[in-house]
Structure 1
Amino acid sequence: MRHSRPALIVFCREPIAHQSKTRLIGAITPATAAALSDAFIRDALAKAVAVRTSRIVIAASAPDGAESSKYFRRLARQFDADLFDQGNGPLGRRMARALEPFSSDGALLIGTDTPSLPTALLDASLEALRRNRIVVAPSLDGGYYAIGVRGAMPPIFTSIRWGSRTVFASTIARLERDGLPYALGPAWYDVDRWPDVMLLAAHLRMLARARRRTGSSVCPATESVLMRLGLLHHAR
């Protein structure tokens, strides 16, 4: 049975120096780490627009609340997105809270740490959610970068060691233990640490060579920051 196009939720925190991408600080300055976080968010929202989902939602965390954040209000206007405050509590509770209002047609919640994710793969996860109650798209670090739910909320957001390399495996084990059918989205890599940034830069350099023919960029905001860091150069 096919359902209408699910909503797409971009789950993110306001980029603030010394608070954003802290595992990169040392290799780059706190201000540059925050700039990279901002670029990841913008590229994720641009992909959300490109896949033409039914609704774009920014599920945001900000010091004084999402609605009080000039940063998020500006992004919501720019990308024609609804703004939703994540609220307090553990990560799983905040993700479940963001997904719950969309139980009818479902929603796919994505993080922002996969800037090079091709739009076609994001679209594949959205399409999978039209046919399945639950979709999980794994990341190569042992977690997942996208989770989609349609219908009643499954018990997969509690008793998980968030941030560990067992998040994806634990989530799948919970689904299988409870007999809940699910589909897998395409796997991709996260960018959390400096070696991940170097991998990203190498990947983007390879894509830039191919782009001489296509003329498109998979993550232009991120590319701009990496160029300022000297990790990328304008294609000739």
Structure 2
Amino acid sequence: MKRPRPALIVFCREPIEHQVKTRLIGSMTPSAAAALADAFIRDALAKADSVHPARIVIAASAPDGADRSKYFRRLARRFGAELIDQRDGSLGQRMARSLDPFSSNGALLIGTDTPSLPSEMLATSLDALRRTGVVIAPSLDGGYYAVGVRGAMPPIFTGIRWGTRRVFDSTIARLDRADIPYTMGPAWYDVDRWADVMLLASHLRMLARSRPRAGLSPCPATESVLVRLGVLRHDR
């Protein structure tokens, strides 16, 4: 019997100036960086909705807690999502805590820093959880943008040096040592630094030339912000 589609968890932080996308500040203003972070979240949730998971969950980090955040409560209503709080701890602890309540039936956790990721690639990783206990999708900076678990939590969320270029390799090594089968999702690029923003803008410009009509952007909210900031100009 075919297993049901897993839950999809969007793991994100409230887009407050000086607290998000700080590596972009200097190349853009704090308010512009926060606007871009907000667009990334909205695009991630819209993409999550488009692949029809069993449920959408927002795993949020907010100064006064997710439940008190007007920003996240509004998004949860808009997308019909459940809202949970990441709470304190390392990145690995917060990811494991977000996955754990949903892992028995399968849950895929995604970040929001891959706005141009095609929906089809997200669906590929989500569907892979029907066949295997762990799915991990690498990002080109050496980390990963998605991790999925079905069943017992694997030993991949502790003892990892987060924020380094070895995160993905270290995680795979942990899975291999524990003899845990896994499926690798499609690789994609993160947008963390100014050079990444330039890559994203070039990519969106290329896609705009090739798509048959308007409205087919992989990240319309992000594209709109980049146009407003003057970072993205489509050819006429």
CA distance in 2, matches of 1:215, 1:93: 38
TM-score (norm 2): 0.98
CA distance in 2, matches of 1:34, 1:213: 29
Alignment pair present for 1:24 and 2:32 = no
Q: Who is 2:65 aligned against?
A: 65
Mark the CA change 1:95 to 1:115 in structure 2 (over 3 Å): closer, same or farther: same
Q: Who is 1:131 aligned against?
A: 131
Residues 62 and 69 of structure 2 are in contact (CA less than 8 Å); yes or no, is this contact kept in structure 1?
A: yes
Residues 136 and 147 of structure 1 are in contact (CA less than 8 Å); yes or no, is this contact kept in structure 2?
A: yes
Q: CA deviation at 1:228?
A: 1.2
TM-score (norm 1): 0.98
Q: Who is 1:38 aligned against?
A: 38
Q: CA deviation at 1:231?
A: 2.1
Question: What amino acid is aligned across from residue 122 of structure 1 in structure 2?
Answer: L
Q: CA deviation at 1:214?
A: 6.8
CA distance in 2, matches of 1:189, 1:204: 13
Residues 212 and 235 of structure 1 are in contact (CA less than 8 Å); yes or no, is this contact kept in structure 2?
A: no
Q: Who is 1:115 aligned against?
A: 115
CA distance in 2, matches of 1:212, 1:166: 40
Q: Who is 2:50 aligned against?
A: 50
CA distance in 2, matches of 1:181, 1:154: 10
CA distance in 2, matches of 1:42, 1:104: 27
**Residue 108 of structure 2 aligns to a residue in which SS?**
strand
CA distance in 2, matches of 1:25, 1:231: 14
Residues 12 and 59 of structure 1 are in contact (CA less than 8 Å); yes or no, is this contact kept in structure 2?
A: yes
Q: Who is 1:179 aligned against?
A: 179
Residues 67 and 83 of structure 2 are in contact (CA less than 8 Å); yes or no, is this contact kept in structure 1?
A: yes
Provide, for residues 135-173 of structure 1, a one-character-per-residue CA deviation record: whole Å limited to 9, x for no partner: 000000000000000000000000001110000000000
Provide, for residues 12-45 of structure 1, a one-character-per-residue CA deviation record: whole Å limited to 9, x for no partner: 0000001110000000000000000000000000
CA distance in 2, matches of 1:157, 1:113: 19
Question: What amino acid is aligned across from residue 209 of structure 1 in structure 2?
Answer: R
* % identical aligned pairs: 75
CA distance in 2, matches of 1:57, 1:40: 16
**Structure 1 unaligned runs (5+)?**
none
Provide, for residues 93-120 of structure 1, a one-character-per-residue CA deviation record: whole Å limited to 9, x for no partner: 0000000011221100000000000000
Mark the CA change 1:215 to 1:228 in structure 2 (over 3 Å): closer, same or farther: closer
**Residue 212 of structure 1 aligns to a residue in which SS?**
coil
Provide, for residues 172-208 of structure 1, a one-character-per-residue CA deviation record: whole Å limited to 9, x for no partner: 0000001000000000000000000000000000000
Aligned-residue CA RMSD in angstroms? 1.1
CA distance in 1, matches of 2:232, 2:156: 39
Q: Who is 1:228 aligned against?
A: 228
Residues 40 and 115 of structure 1 are in contact (CA less than 8 Å); yes or no, is this contact kept in structure 2?
A: yes
CA distance in 1, matches of 2:17, 2:74: 19
